[in-house]
Structure 1
């Protein structure tokens, strides 16, 4: 996609997002040159889901001012150390065992990553995450895992939901976050971000609506 198309899409998105909703540019599958174009347009926060791919881009973009890298993919335990070293924010902490592993490694590496806990609010065989009641029960343990910094919840709407159903799901996630004292919400992607924003999302993860289809 030409740089001017990227600029137009970015301007259109920014014109529709309310002040509290920040744009996380989902750059997985996009070459480093495309990210460089996005940085020139003012973007700084990028979401990646594959450690090796992200590392290569970080090397290619090392001449730029430090960027804000977010890990948004499913995190395998054996990739935890690498992800902690290369990402300041993780959106996909989906279980206690993973959180405890991240805590141990973060302490060893002297890192304080920002975490979103992934929650599963509707039946969806293709997604992982904490059930709401499970998260509430585990919360005293999860919030005490220093030096991790819990900041919010992340959820993904199952495919096939109508807009009003997605809105209710996102509202449920926002209510759960508020009950736990968490102020940030990672909700909404290219196909459903308007409903997520209506429910109070603070990070919308947008890839194809910004960059076009992945290469």
Structure 2
């Protein structure tokens, strides 16, 4: 927790108005999240269901927090993730969206979702191909009770600054084409380019918390 207040103050000063900070708390213990809440943060990103459930139990006395699931979502974890997270940022296929929509209806939930798009070749990452997303968008847009909020994308490792900026600009243009207002782009190593391209959410872990502790 040492250094968290100063890092958060610096980030808040650097982020433009309207850009929301998602604190990537995966790998951080519950007490660090508690300290972040005391500093005014309310939105947290986790990528492993079991880890998140334990933290949510430990922090239940704080009341509702804004939990975002940011990891690759396995179909067999869909129900658990829907029960624990109000926002899912990693919907990467029509099949997964359909499954989430069906289970959300059964559970009486209306989760916000971001569609993950893959704009550059990268074997380490998933996501909709842009042309596939355009073709399937009419069906995706009608998958109530899901609430499609925007697009999420990840830059491949090793991409230089200009390449990252171009990728994020492509994602912003695609979101505009589809009529989606939110953009979750940019992590600790590339958030300035993402913000320059119009990101409305940045997902910051190391830049905020330092190294992971668990």
Residue in structure 1 matching 2:103, options 105, 116, 133: 105
Question: Deviation at 1:18?
Answer: 0.4
Match in the other structure for 2:157: 159
Residue in structure 1 matching 2:137, options 136, 139, 164: 139
Structure 2: give runs of 5+ residues left out of the alignment: none
Q: Match of 1:63, SS?
A: helix
Match in the other structure for 2:51: 53
Match in the other structure for 2:195: 197
User: Deviations for 1:120-159, whole angstroms, at most 9, x for unmatched residues?
Assistant: 0000011110000100000010000000000000000001
For normalisation by structure 1, the TM-score amounts to 0.98
1:172 aligns with 2:205: no
Residue in structure 1 matching 2:21, options 8, 11, 23: 23
Distance 1:52 1:161 in 2: 32
Distance 1:30 1:145 in 2: 34
Match in the other structure for 1:128: 126
For normalisation by structure 2, the TM-score amounts to 0.99
Structure 1 segments, 4+ long, off by >2 Å, are none
Q: Match of 1:122, SS?
A: coil
For these two proteins, the number of residue pairs brought into alignment is: 213
Match in the other structure for 1:187: 185
Question: Deviation at 1:24?
Answer: 0.1
User: Deviations for 1:21-48, whole angstroms, at most 9, x for unmatched residues?
Assistant: 1000000000000000000000000000
Residue in structure 2 matching 1:119, options 107, 110, 117: 117
RMSD: 0.5
Question: Deviation at 1:193?
Answer: 0.1
Question: Deviation at 1:59?
Answer: 0.4
Match in the other structure for 2:81: 83
Question: Deviation at 1:180?
Answer: 0.3
Distance 1:103 1:67 in 2: 22
